[in-house]
Amino acid sequence: MCDDRWVLTGPSDLHLHSSCSDGTEPPAEVMAAAHDAGVRTVALTDHDTTAGWAEAGDAARTLGLTLLPGAELSAKHAGRSVHVLAYLFDPDAAELVALMAGVRENRAGRAERLVANLARDLDVTWDDVVAQRTGDATVGRPHIADALIARGIVASREEAFATLLSPRGPYYVSHPAPTPIDVVRVVRAAGGVPIIAHPAGRGMLPVPVLEELLDAGLSGFELDHRENTPDGRATLARIVAERDLIATGSSDYHGTGKLNRPGENTTSDEMVARIIAQATGVPPVSG
Interacting residues toward ligand AMP by CB under 6 A? 22, 140-142, 157-158, 161, 254, 257-258
Q: Which of 22, 48, 146, 224 binds Fe ion (CB under 5 A)?
A: 22
Closest residue to Zn ion in the complex (CB): 252
Alpha-carbon distance values, 275 to 3, 4, 127, 148, 208 (Å):
14, 15, 41, 39, 24
Choose the contact partner of 91 out of ligand AMP, Zn ion, Fe ion, none; CB within 5 to 8 A by kind: none
Q: How far is the CB of 241 from ligand AMP (least distance, A)?
A: 29
Q: How far is the CB of 7 from Zn ion (least distance, A)?
A: 27
Q: What contacts 252, CB < 8 A, 6 or more positions away?
A: 15, 16, 17, 197, 198, 225, 226, 227, 258, 260
Choose the contact partner of 188 out of Zn ion, Fe ion, ligand AMP, none; CB within 5 to 8 A by kind: none
Q: Whole-angstrom Cα distance, residue 4 to residue 172?
A: 50
Based on the shown chain and the rule CB under 5 A, indicate whether residue 83 belongs to the binding site for Fe ion: yes
Q: Whole-angstrom Cα distance, residue 74 to residue 21?
A: 12
**Regarding beta strands 80-87 and 12-16, do their DSSP bridges make them parallel or antiparallel, or are they unpaired?**
unpaired
Pick out residues in 179-238 that bind Zn ion (CB under 5 A).
none
Q: How far is the CB of 159 from ligand AMP (least distance, A)?
A: 8
Q: Which of 75, 72, 105 is nearest to 179 (CA)?
A: 75
Choose the contact partner of 161 out of Fe ion, ligand AMP, Zn ion, none; CB within 5 to 8 A by kind: ligand AMP
The amino acid that residue 248 corresponds to is T
Q: Which residues bind Fe ion (CB under 5 A)?
A: 22, 83, 197
